[in-house]
Structure 1
Amino acid sequence: MIPPFSQRRAGLLAGLLAVVLLLAGFQIAPQADGFLQQLVRQLNRFYAATFPEKSYLHLDKTVYAAGETVWLKAYVVQAGNHRPDTLSRVLYVDLLTPDQVLVRQQLLRLQNGTASGDILLPDTLVQGRYTVRAYTNWMRNTSPEYFYNQQIMVWHTPLDAVAPAIGERRGRVPNKPAAARLTVQFFPEGGNLVSGLESTIGFKATDANGRGVDVAGSIKDSRGRDVVTFKSLHAGMGRFQLKPEPGQTYQATVRQSGGAFLTTPLPAALPTGFTMKVMELKDQIQVFIQRQAGTGAAAAEAITLVAHVRGQVAYAGQGQVGAGATFSARIPKSRFQTGVAHFTLFDSQNQARCERLAFVGATTPDLRITLQPDKARYAPREKVTLRVAVADVEGKPVAGQFSLAVNNAQLVPASMEQRTIRSYLLLTSELRGTVEDPGYYFANPTYDTNLALDNLMLTQGWRRFVWKELLANRLGNYPYPLEQSLSVSGQVMNGQLLGSKETPAPNATVLLLRFGGENQLMTATTDSAGRFFFSGFAEQDTSRLLVRVQPQKGLRNPIVRLDRKVAEGAKNLPTIPLEVGSAEEVAYLQSSKKQQVMERQYSPDGKRILLQNVDVRGRREVSDGRRLYSRADAVVRTADIPAANSYTNILQLIQGRVAGVQVTGNPPNMNVTIRGISSFSGSNSPLFIIDGVQTDASIVNSISVQDVESVEILKGASAAIYGSRGGNGVIAIFTKRGNPNYDPANDPYAAAPMGMATYALPRYYPTREFYQPPYQQPGAQLPPDDTRSATLFWAPQIVTDANGQATITFYTSDIGGDYRLSLEGLTNNGLSGTGYGTLVVKGK
């Protein structure tokens, strides 16, 4: 079930039927018009109703040493148009070990689709390839495949030594060689081989780590005759042509450079069916469709062809194709957005028979970005003024949001094949599985890179939706709600009874008690699946929360299950082998050690980091702000009563223990009288308070003794501080978890009782500022050696004006050499790009 969206998003549905049908030689069959409109309508509905999102992280680099900081800029966009105005306002950023175990998580507040952040890498990390991932709560409704995942290399060195002997460093993971295993897959264009029809077959060869490997091979038919030879072009991918003959099967022999080889059968050819071929011409995309019909089949069959890029329809038409005939259609490239185009052929029974992906616009950049330093060479500790200019492909200046990393080119080598915001949004995020070296296809477009990109389209799968489910209006379940602020969500279940299973508890009342500076009581009602959702938490400090289900008829042994804020990890991420002991590693570790020492001595954030590593013994008492009064007339402490936890609820516990307070009835319907006034006599009820929050007797009846620290009773003048509300007396209940000094480690009853759950609401991460010595401040304390090197400068918040201009200033360090400038970002209308430059610094 998909929750309703705001009126603004719902308005997108108004234009669903206003679709221009690009006939391009097709003749529309009147009886099929409804299906064509249904296709377009459902495609638009998917993007408007499910509102898919994408996240991207620009990291200052991808190689680190333990103890360093990963500096990052997050971009979250609508999946359909890449505009940074998503409904989500909370982004989760996780650091995962090589075994996909969570090390750290941060919650970033998104503003206009972006946020800056940083991850301090503990100096105890073992060496290996870690994963930084980013996702919104809404993205969890689909699959971890949709999360942004970036592998980073973390080298390890103790801070009290520089470059100890290789293999002797603390916490090193042995580099075990992967088994030599070759895997080859074959992908007929459009989906299937059909006897008698020529097809293009893409192939992909990978090693034991899932990385592409160069191969060559040949195809033999079942008679042992050589039919065709082939060779990979890039990342183990390539293509060849094959026209399968009726009754023949085919087998491939594949050899890897270095000796490994295998023999494997090709997919079997179908006796009847369709084939699809997509070719890119200069200004057009040409689609060829062929059909092989069985005996007695109609001479021609009605077909439907749809092409779209991220839900934006570029072509929708119908026609007929004869048996053994070829039908072609030409579609102007101007109809397509830049990105992965999805072509689908439907037969006369409205079944999808062929699908093909093709990339449109790889040779045309979205943005033209120039980075111009004010000088050709700089001295140590000299001010740099960098001018940024951003324009679209037509040269018109554009405003946008960007982030800049300045890296030492020797310590952090450049790779034009690495992922960029453009390659991720336009390519990687649209495909199933891992795309190696995505930047390769965009850095220097040539005939070979374009052909390699089309090979990728032949071999990688479409990930966003399946037509069968889409046309049946099955858009999936969406249990994780959109978050526009910090939130708490979960599910209430009816507990197991003898011979029964747990079942969702619909229409249950859920109470949330929030403790802290401003105590608060919130209520929600579960939906048909027993789910509830609280939001509106915007503070920076962590809040302590108590979630409780209110007793009601038909609710049996309620169980509260809060949603985990940590998503499941993606499966089968490729492992990149470690290169242990290289000269580059030793040089990087030496540089990193010096820079870390400097930052921890002179950076304010460095001092804060050191405090985080101190093991503090004992507890600091925090004042308890749950009381408005200075003293109570009577106090009952659960710790002072033997076997207190044997009582059913807190009212039964105080029964007969306080003079003037009479408790009658049986759990869970007990009444309290103070000075002869019944708690259930309307306006004469005493005031019930839990941790400073006013509540009612039904809630008090359900509170477990195990969760209560004390009960305080106020009478007469003592209750006057509550005004008329306290005129009939006050019963104030204080929970253990509401106490700011509460330590669950010392509480044997810390586990939440039935129908209750506790939660510490995470706060937004307070992002640190990248350290550079304050050279611009006269008299400031400066380090004797400025060792900033691997990352000389990081600026996550760069905004170009209406003229496409921005100016950034920073200072060089004492380390000379060539520095690489890398600026990434996107415009408000969804255009993305990356710009590079070079900075030359003379050594000290």
Structure 2
Amino acid sequence: MKRTSIYISSLVIIFLFSAFQKSSIENSAFEHIFSKLATYIFNGGPEKVYLQTDKDFYTNGETIWFKAYLLDGITHYKSSKSKVIYVELVDKKDSIITHKKIYVDDFAAGDIKINNKIKQGTYLLRSYTKYMLNKKEPVFFQKEIPIWTQNIFSNELSKNIPTQKENILIEQKTIEPNFQFFPEGGDLVYGIKSVIGIKVTDSIGSGIALQGKIVDQDNNMVVPFRSYSFGLGSTSFTPEATKKYYASTIVNNIEKRFPLPNPISKGYVLTIENKGDYINIQAKTNIPNGLNGTLLLGHLRGITFLKHIEKSNQKKSFSIKLMSKDIEDGVAQFTLFTSNGEPVCERLVFIDHPDNDTKLSINTTKKEYNTRDKVAIEMELTDAKGNFLDGDFSMSVVTSNNLKKESKTIKSWLLLNSDIGGTISNANYFFKDNTNATKYLLDALMLTHGWRRFVWKNLLNDSIIKKQPFIPEKGIMINGQTTAFKNRHQPKKTDVTISILEKGIYQEKKTTNLQGKFSFGPFIFQDSVKGVIQVSTLDKEKEKEISIYIKNNLPKITTNYPWKKPEQYPISYAQEYLKETYRKKVNDFKYDPQVTMLEEVTIEAKKKTKKEIINEKINSLTIYGSPDNRLFVDSIPGTESASIFDLLRRVSGVRILGSFPNQTIQIRGASSLSLTTDPLFLIDGNEVPGNAIQGMLANEVMFIDVLKGAATAMYGSRGSNGVIALYTSTNGALGFNTNVERYPGVTNFEIKGFSKIREFYVPNYNSPKPEHKKQDYRTTLHWEPNIKLKGKDNSVVNFYTGDNLGEYLIKVEGITTDGRVVNSTYNFNVINN
């Protein structure tokens, strides 16, 4: 009950704090701080998504099984906002390979079938809600997924297996380092001893381990320093008035000096030492009477656990000893405010107290099993004091070669990475053990990480508490707009009726707003449903003047890629894993009764393809002839509901900048002669402004031409940034009849429903069947996405081993009903008796 009591007491503090001494200027400023904090918790609080996958490596033709956890970003309880999440597999070109829309009921799970013809490489598995798009820098769940390709006909394993990276650190002798310095609290202040965090990286952001010294402008040594794993380190010294300081190190036998931030003459310093069981906090200033009336505020994801108003008139420092067992695990944020409410110092501290730990016991009846033997797993969940806990969990059972040693976990993501920007490539490293070295690096990470989800200056200036364009989704919405039939850009207010024709007829009537916009839903259905939307008016002539357009509801986002750093997947893992999957592929092919192996043949044809015929005709009719790039919409599967921006992402040389709805387009290779970088846009040969294409859908376009070379010359300076020419499906300017018509006053639609949850196949070897003659080489032995633990009732999961020998790993992750993260592993072996 500790979490609940802390949460409630924090809210009480927020609302009652404004009652204290309202007449004073200091407290009115603090009242503003607490009211903004309360608004953030109730109106602006974030959501978080975490995905557990059955394993970390995959090959073509396999299935990615996943469980999705959608949580309140403050309490880590189940989210009460959204009911819809999106899961996507994305390649390095930001192209969506697979898109899943998942409805979150009691739990959410799904799968992604990897195409047999997928290109080998590293892909990004990401997940998010639309509500997350309200943030200026949204933090989506992202996980790198290496996918190798195998061809059973070539009788060989996948080629181009990554080579092993022995160490993430780079030798300082060969790499020019980049230094970043982070004074604890914010500033170096003359005359006050300060800790300074140091981060040393190479040009692509990989950490560099090196040693050096801090020197003054006369090259006098002040203090030595070292950076360690991830290039992290720290040191401390007292800056002297008028002096400047540098970090000095040796690179290629030459001394290099890097300037530290200039100390300020008057200011504040906040020093915090995390001792494990308690936290020492010390605030200092060299400003006379500068600490009088200051507020030291501590919160974790918005929940307040410390408020201290300093009443001393003379002291230039004050100290607080805070017991960390009273704070929940995660990134705690300490801020020092002046008496007028200005934040002047800030420090992040990671709390990971043993009293907050959970213990998930995983037990099997034995440690060694025969092939095709029955395994029964029992689980029991308690807190640090042995009290039973309730929770929601998922479990994968895989060969030990299927998981990376530093695999992302629910703890590293929810408690660390998701709250400081999701940019730590190996956040689980900081939880691998409880040594002093790991604690030192974690604290150095807190010192040097500039991004955090919660920024006081933004909060106090109302820049993050405002009307949010993306409301939490509760189901499938069918949105659209009514316009003049002959002018799509002229909205018309009218009444519209929706009729859904699946599983009985559903009808609903609404009046659009002044912009002609309408919205129906939320609906909850699987598969695709068909329906009709029509104008509802007694005047049939008016219906002929109106068009109805269905809006594409898919969110448009830009991926924050972690791929600028080299991939680091040990070859030893890849080789063993690929041997297992290759054997399974060959065996599945051999026993598949639907497959007949044929000799490879080559068919030659002289007949021109449809694309060649169309290209010839188009090139003869367009004024510029052949373009630099041409994209035929009907040649791209799955673009029925895509926007023009989604299509243009696929065109070589075209960059989409920004996030929806504020997106711009640039064409690489174009030489700008104007003040802007916008290309010239044409629709059916007519010049249009750039924003005219933002609302267009793929089904309105037949093909897109991109010009960026000499062909743009005929458009003069207007085409200096390149030309994007769109030809609509309904236009006959080029002599093509696509048989696509729009009808006044009515439109039909087909909406894709939520993805179905497939059941993981579990063979039962207790009852012999003919198919059991086939050898069982499963690499994912079992996947169980819906495990409920409640009190003393043990959860039991049963499955059978296969024919693969060796070590297997049981990995269980989940969240308790009071928001505590849980992850645990257990090993057993399969032997051949």
Question: TM-score category by the smaller chain?
Answer: 0.7 to 0.9
Give the deviation of 1:142 after TM superposition: 1.8
- Residue 402 of structure 1 contacts residue 796 of structure 1 at CA under 8 Å; is this kept in 2? yes
Give the deviation of 1:600 after TM superposition: 6.9
- Counterparts of 1:236 and 1:426 in 2: how far apart (Å)? 22
- Counterparts of 2:827 and 2:526 in 1: how far apart (Å)? 39
Q: 1:151-190 deviations in whole A, cap 9, x for unaligned?
A: 1111122243342573599xxxxxxx99966433211111
- Counterparts of 2:271 and 2:489 in 1: how far apart (Å)? 52
- Residue 130 of structure 1 contacts residue 153 of structure 1 at CA under 8 Å; is this kept in 2? yes
- Residue 492 of structure 1 contacts residue 561 of structure 1 at CA under 8 Å; is this kept in 2? no
Counterpart of 1:533 (choices 519, 532, 538) is 519
Q: Aligned pair in 2 of structure 1 residues 583, 336: CA closer, same or farther (>3 Å)?
A: closer
Give the deviation of 1:560 after TM superposition: 5.4
Please tell me whether residue 372 in structure 1 is matched to residue 363 in structure 2: yes
* Identity fraction in percent: 27
Give the deviation of 1:380 after TM superposition: 0.7
Counterpart position of 2:285: 291
- Residue 123 of structure 1 contacts residue 158 of structure 1 at CA under 8 Å; is this kept in 2? no
- Residue 398 of structure 1 contacts residue 804 of structure 1 at CA under 8 Å; is this kept in 2? no
Q: Secondary structure at the match of 1:138?
A: helix
Q: Secondary structure at the match of 2:809?
A: strand
Q: Aligned pair in 2 of structure 1 residues 29, 245: CA closer, same or farther (>3 Å)?
A: farther
Counterpart of 2:100 (choices 85, 98, 106) is 106
Counterpart position of 2:599: none
Please tell me whether residue 464 in structure 1 is matched to residue 453 in structure 2: yes
Question: Counterparts in 2 of 1:274-673, with a 5 A limit?
Answer: 274-293=268-287, 301-319=292-310, 325-364=316-355, 366-409=357-400, 411-415=401-405, 417-474=406-463, 475-489=465-479, 512-524=498-510, 532-544=518-530, 562-578=551-567, 582=571, 584-598=573-587
TM-score, with normalisation over the residues of structure 2?
A: 0.72
Counterpart position of 1:36: 30
- Residue 73 of structure 1 contacts residue 796 of structure 1 at CA under 8 Å; is this kept in 2? yes
Counterpart position of 2:39: 45
Q: Aligned pair in 2 of structure 1 residues 164, 440: CA closer, same or farther (>3 Å)?
A: closer
Give the deviation of 1:304 after TM superposition: 1.7
Q: Secondary structure at the match of 2:51?
A: strand
Amino acid at match of 1:377: E
Q: Secondary structure at the match of 2:388?
A: coil
- Residue 774 of structure 1 contacts residue 782 of structure 1 at CA under 8 Å; is this kept in 2? no
Give the deviation of 1:243 after TM superposition: 2.1
Q: Secondary structure at the match of 2:230?
A: coil
Q: Aligned pair in 2 of structure 1 residues 98, 20: CA closer, same or farther (>3 Å)?
A: same
TM-score, with normalisation over the residues of structure 1?
A: 0.72
Amino acid at match of 2:765: Y
- Counterparts of 1:395 and 1:44 in 2: how far apart (Å)? 34
Amino acid at match of 1:785: Q
Give the deviation of 1:805 after TM superposition: 1.6
Give the deviation of 1:804 after TM superposition: 5.1
RMSD: 4.0
Give the deviation of 1:418 after TM superposition: 2.8
Q: Aligned pair in 2 of structure 1 residues 280, 578: CA closer, same or farther (>3 Å)?
A: closer
Give the deviation of 1:241 after TM superposition: 0.8
- Counterparts of 2:741 and 2:142 in 1: how far apart (Å)? 35
- Counterparts of 1:757 and 1:146 in 2: how far apart (Å)? 37
- Residue 28 of structure 1 contacts residue 318 of structure 1 at CA under 8 Å; is this kept in 2? no
Question: When the two structures are aligned, how many residues end up with a matched partner?
Answer: 674
| Bigger mean CA deviation after superposition, 353-362 or 313-322 | 313-322
Amino acid at match of 1:488: I
Counterpart position of 1:242: 237
Q: Aligned pair in 2 of structure 1 residues 365, 513: CA closer, same or farther (>3 Å)?
A: same
- Residue 68 of structure 1 contacts residue 121 of structure 1 at CA under 8 Å; is this kept in 2? yes
Q: Aligned pair in 2 of structure 1 residues 264, 510: CA closer, same or farther (>3 Å)?
A: farther
Q: 1:697-717 deviations in whole A, cap 9, x for unaligned?
A: xxxxxxxxx99xxxxxxxxxx
Give the deviation of 1:544 after TM superposition: 3.4
| Bigger mean CA deviation after superposition, 375-384 or 178-187 | 178-187
Q: 1:453-491 deviations in whole A, cap 9, x for unaligned?
A: 111111123432332332344414422222222223467
Counterpart position of 2:248: 253
Counterpart position of 1:127: 120
- Counterparts of 2:125 and 2:231 in 1: how far apart (Å)? 26
Counterpart of 1:773 (choices 749, 763, 777) is 763
- Counterparts of 1:547 and 1:466 in 2: how far apart (Å)? 45
Give the deviation of 1:340 after TM superposition: 1.0
- Counterparts of 1:461 and 1:115 in 2: how far apart (Å)? 33
Counterpart of 1:87 (choices 69, 81, 90) is 81
Give the deviation of 1:263 after TM superposition: 4.0
Please tell me whether residue 117 in structure 1 is matched to residue 119 in structure 2: no
Give the deviation of 1:148 after TM superposition: 0.7
Give the deviation of 1:782 after TM superposition: 1.3
| Bigger mean CA deviation after superposition, 153-162 or 538-547 | 538-547
Counterpart position of 1:147: 140
Q: Secondary structure at the match of 1:49?
A: helix
Q: Aligned pair in 2 of structure 1 residues 107, 325: CA closer, same or farther (>3 Å)?
A: same
| Bigger mean CA deviation after superposition, 429-438 or 558-567 | 558-567
Q: Aligned pair in 2 of structure 1 residues 68, 314: CA closer, same or farther (>3 Å)?
A: same
- Counterparts of 1:259 and 1:819 in 2: how far apart (Å)? 49
- Counterparts of 1:549 and 1:14 in 2: how far apart (Å)? 49
| Bigger mean CA deviation after superposition, 71-80 or 194-203 | 194-203
Please tell me whether residue 267 in structure 1 is matched to residue 257 in structure 2: no
Counterpart position of 2:811: 822
- Counterparts of 2:9 and 2:340 in 1: how far apart (Å)? 30
- Counterparts of 1:152 and 1:810 in 2: how far apart (Å)? 26
- Counterparts of 2:254 and 2:60 in 1: how far apart (Å)? 37
Give the deviation of 1:435 after TM superposition: 1.6
- Residue 128 of structure 2 contacts residue 141 of structure 2 at CA under 8 Å; is this kept in 1? yes
- Counterparts of 1:516 and 1:299 in 2: how far apart (Å)? 70
Q: 1:187-228 deviations in whole A, cap 9, x for unaligned?
A: 111122222222111122233443333232322222222222
- Residue 402 of structure 2 contacts residue 573 of structure 2 at CA under 8 Å; is this kept in 1? no
- Residue 441 of structure 1 contacts residue 452 of structure 1 at CA under 8 Å; is this kept in 2? yes
Q: 1:739-773 deviations in whole A, cap 9, x for unaligned?
A: xxxxxxx9726486899887542221122222333
Q: 1:385-439 deviations in whole A, cap 9, x for unaligned?
A: 1111111121111121111111212x23551x43211221111111125123222
- Counterparts of 1:603 and 1:369 in 2: how far apart (Å)? 40
Amino acid at match of 1:127: Q
- Residue 29 of structure 1 contacts residue 319 of structure 1 at CA under 8 Å; is this kept in 2? no
- Counterparts of 1:71 and 1:162 in 2: how far apart (Å)? 27
Contiguous gaps of at least 5 residues in structure 1: 1-10, 170-176, 608-705, 708-736, 738-745
Give the deviation of 1:46 after TM superposition: 0.9
Q: Aligned pair in 2 of structure 1 residues 464, 254: CA closer, same or farther (>3 Å)?
A: same
- Higher-Rg structure is 1
- Counterparts of 1:314 and 1:603 in 2: how far apart (Å)? 61
Amino acid at match of 1:274: Y
Q: Aligned pair in 2 of structure 1 residues 559, 317: CA closer, same or farther (>3 Å)?
A: farther
Q: Aligned pair in 2 of structure 1 residues 17, 269: CA closer, same or farther (>3 Å)?
A: closer
Please tell me whether residue 55 in structure 1 is matched to residue 49 in structure 2: yes
- Residue 36 of structure 1 contacts residue 317 of structure 1 at CA under 8 Å; is this kept in 2? no
- Counterparts of 2:243 and 2:218 in 1: how far apart (Å)? 8
